[in-house]
Chains A and B, each alone.
Chain A
């Protein structure tokens, strides 16, 4: 190893040579660089959003649409990240960030402008969300709600696809309009709270934000209500409790009281069913395969009444107590301190609701509409013999789909099937977090949103006071302890259940500790059954941590190697306050 030393008046930098920073991929993950210069960049993988290989269709829709949507926002918000490159390597998506560059004065001016714009928006965040962004998203949804997919002619469907793509760009524009102020508001509140009350942690600050209703919780409650309906009819409860998805669906109409339940279930699936396990489209949606819904219903049917509502009420009560306590302490402070507290609190409370609701309006149910349109093409290509199976369409790219729609003789069945098999085979290989060449220094990002975005991917981001990578990779001195981030306070002991996909959710029993790579809003129903949560990816503001706090279970997030180190069935202790997992 060669090392060059460079002294500056203030500190000693150790600058490693490029060959030291070059990352060697594991032997079972050979990397062929399509553009040789790519190897000089640091490529990292978003394990929180896309822990599995990514489907070509999802990437070919989302990457350009999100890129264009984000492009409309970057200058308006004076963002720190001005672009990103994505590369698919062995089926996994890797990202490289392009940062704003300029003279120190230019960077300073940009930081100032960013903060000014963020402060202006956060001053009226709730109003903007309620009166601007949410209605804009609801208007976009009408386009899909009002269109009869099944009965449209091919020409009308192609036209609808073009409109869909345009609207997807707009959805992402709103996504990025919301994103930066949302994370800024949460960041500002956390900082202010921990500065005001010495010894307070970020988790303490979050107690003042929890317990407000949001779309994620509404869906969770709707599912809970369905379970209460099932409990009213022992035949239905027994059927759901003891049979497979197919059996339930065929037996339900023949079961006494089944029709009534079926109507409620259909309504639930129509309203919320277009969500998939995670952000990608390769997973079935609930309305295509309601197995995850039945898994949660099974668990809920065994639970007594009011469990969920009581827990959510406790969360809200804890919030009100924490707010009252803070206000009392601040009673002696100058008005400016109290007013600033109230302003930041209101913005952060809205921001936390937005952080869950945006996943409903955009990431899951919003993009679910786009997925439905794509799937409709898949169905038609199956009928015309251009594909073997409707869901194979997700293994093509958007250009392939358009070409097939224009030319019915174009048959890509074999290509799609092969891609699917290839991705499935890569899914068994643990892909490295990073590839290429590590940067000389961590990325200096001034925007809370950019820091968070880069952290999703495990990119090296400098905090104001620390220079460590976000994922907790440094092992604990005790081999029986795993380190992660404190996600939700409290301690719980339980049996570890490694659940990597929602189709496996029925194995989770009351009190089990849910161990998984990452969770997304469709996983919410499991949080009522689980006694605790441990994830490989994520941080304090990830879905898993936020919902654990709502459902009052301890959570350690971003533990990096939890799913590969903990054995299924092993007894463990989750210490969510300190971010530690003990293997017992």
Chain B
């Protein structure tokens, strides 16, 4: 079997699909995770059979939504509890059409093998083969993107949730190109403890065939991206996930069509040193 869908047992084992996909797959049953599937390639290129299979599954994935998908890597070893490989592998957003999807999948595979990623793995002392796994998910055209920590990563304080948020798709935020809004919410008081609205200069939006980064209109730069109601939703989502997983979580969420989607959930890896 070369392809398996999120939410099925085949994609819930981190040793088989990598941490990123496994977490999402387990959560897909009860949380709004954009639907998708994992591809298990052999070697650097897709075989003809894999391409056919990819095309069928892509059609099925986009049958009831827009044709756009997100293609990301989820190599085994990534997103384990010991080290975060955030940002080490490629991810392609707003990809349309079978050909383009296949191309993005191959690039994801390639990225896993890049020397830089290999070096990074080795410096963390993780042994073993690197097996790339590629995740293809419905693409959510986000109005607001946020990163949510179920503990304060700066102090280790466990009684609060910290949210970073910026306009548009997640790339400007995750890539550090924009200074995001910062919100701190008390876990039990349901209270916003601190708000720092940043002058958000840029945002990522969709462009034909991908994404691009553009200036935020002046009128919106200093406006908060999230309302109090949205913040409380994020707070309870992250507190629930923390309780369920048994470890402090670092989430990537996007807000679109009046709803939050969970696009990534992983342990907070830097916490041990700070909070111990």
Contacts and interface: CB of A to CB of B under 8 A. Distances in A.
Interface in A174-220: 188, 191-192, 195-196
B223 to A, nearest CB: 7
A332 B169 CA distance: 10
Interface residues of A, number: 12
The 7 A-B residue pairs with the shortest CB-CB distance in the complex, in nearest-first order: A335-B143, A334-B143, A332-B206, A332-B205, A334-B167, A334-B168, A195-B217
6 contacts: A191-B218, A195-B219, A332-B141, A333-B205, A334-B142, A340-B217
Contacts of A340: 217, 219-220
Interface string B222-248: 010100000000000000000000000
Contacts of B223: 336
Nearest to A338: B143
Contacts of A156: none
B242 to A, nearest CB: 28
B96 to A, nearest CB: 13
Contacts of B141: 332
B219 A334 contact: no
A337 B220 contact: yes
Contacts of A332: 141, 205-207
B95 to A, nearest CB: 15
A464 to B, nearest CB: 11
Interface of A (DSSP majority class): helix
Interface string A325-368: 00000001111110010000000000000000000000000000
Contacts of A195: 217-219
A336 B167 contact: yes
- Most central of A188, A192, A195, A334 by chain B CB within 10 Å: A334
A122 to B, nearest CB: 13
Contacts of A335: 143, 256
Nearest to B145: A334
Given A332-B141, A336-B225, A337-B167, A196 B207 contact: no
Contacts of A191: 218-219
A216 B256 CA distance: 43
Interface of B: 141-144, 167-168, 203, 205-207, 217-220, 223, 225, 256
A336 B203 CA distance: 12
B217 A196 contact: yes
A347 to B, nearest CB: 13
Contacts of A188: 219
A119 to B, nearest CB: 11
Contacts of A333: 168, 205
A51 B106 CA distance: 73
A195 B205 CA distance: 16
A334 B211 CA distance: 13
B254 to A, nearest CB: 10
Contacts of B218: 191-192, 195
Contacts of B217: 192, 195-196, 337, 340
B209 to A, nearest CB: 12
A334 to B, nearest CB: 4
Contacts of B144: 334, 336
A333 B203 CA distance: 9
A148 to B, nearest CB: 53
B205 A336 contact: no
A303 to B, nearest CB: 44
Contact of A192 (B203, B206, B219): B219
Nearest to B168: A334
A219 to B, nearest CB: 36
A191 B142 CA distance: 25
A335 B258 CA distance: 10
A392 B61 CA distance: 83
A189 B176 CA distance: 31
Nearest to A335: B143
B5 to A, nearest CB: 28
Given A191-B219, A332-B141, A334-B168, 11 more contacts: A188-B219, A192-B217, A192-B218, A333-B205, A334-B142, A334-B144, A334-B205, A336-B167, A336-B220, A337-B167, A340-B217
A281 B46 CA distance: 84
Query: In the complex, which of the residues A192, A195, A337 has the most CB atoms of chain B within 10 Å of its own CB atom?
Result: A337
Contacts of B143: 334-336
B26 to A, nearest CB: 30
Contacts of B203: 334
A186 to B, nearest CB: 15
A192 B168 CA distance: 18
Contacts of A337: 167, 217, 220
Contacts of B256: 335
Contacts of A192: 217-219
A335 B230 CA distance: 15
A242 to B, nearest CB: 57
A196 B220 CA distance: 11
A332 B142 CA distance: 10
A556 B240 CA distance: 64
B140 to A, nearest CB: 12
A335 B205 CA distance: 11
Nearest to B216: A337
A195 B218 CA distance: 7
A196 B256 CA distance: 21
A191 B223 CA distance: 17
Nearest to B203: A334
